Structure 1
Amino acid sequence: MTHPSRLPVEFPSDEWLLDGDLESLGVDPGKWESFKSSLNIRGASWEGEDHTGNQWGVVVTRRGGVIGSWGDPEYRFQTASVGKAFTWAAFGLAHDAGMVDPDDPVNATWTGEGELSHEH
């Protein structure tokens, strides 16, 4: 079995494939339908955040194509610290590709310029 970090990452060219051809995206349609039927997909409210009605959105992608979407695909929400998970994943891919070493000091690869909101 190939480790997930060794699998190719595929992005759409200019547009996401929206035709719903699950098999061409490497998804077994029967298993996908079984998975979806086991879910209770809906918006929710939590700690003062109201995401009921159509105030939420989820899109599931694979190999440059959309395999499922729920809610409002145009809905935007402040995700705050969730970016750390994506940064961790990107750093892991960069490490696997030999682009960075986790033992190097930060100033070896970061210039100090960028999007930080305040002094650190």
Structure 2
Amino acid sequence: MIIDPVVIDAASAVLMLVGALSCLLGALGLVRLPDLPGRMQAATKPQTLGLLLILAGTALRVEMESAVTLLLVGLFQVITAPVIAQLLGRSAYRGGSVRSELLVVDELAGKMPEDGSS
């Protein structure tokens, strides 16, 4: 079954536009949200989703070898973004940058070691 190139172009354009919109909303969240945990949320989830959608839209337009490379880029992003966000959040919590009055639940209260070890 051969898919019409117009359909592929339209699907690619929709994926890339939705991905760009997701990245734009994540960037607006970075500017507008008041606290560090909210900004981390805006920096990781919409940006990762946006990148994956843009990569999927691009993969529809390129050869198979390049599409596999884009798949690896997306996989690397999905693996590394949560780890980086967790490390940034932990560092900010230890440094006192997280405002405790804005937290609904503070599961780390009293559990973080004081000596700087993990």
Structure 2 length normalisation: TM-score? 0.26
Tell me which protein shows more helix as a share of its residues: 2
Tell me which protein shows more strand as a share of its residues: 1
Structure 1 length normalisation: TM-score? 0.25
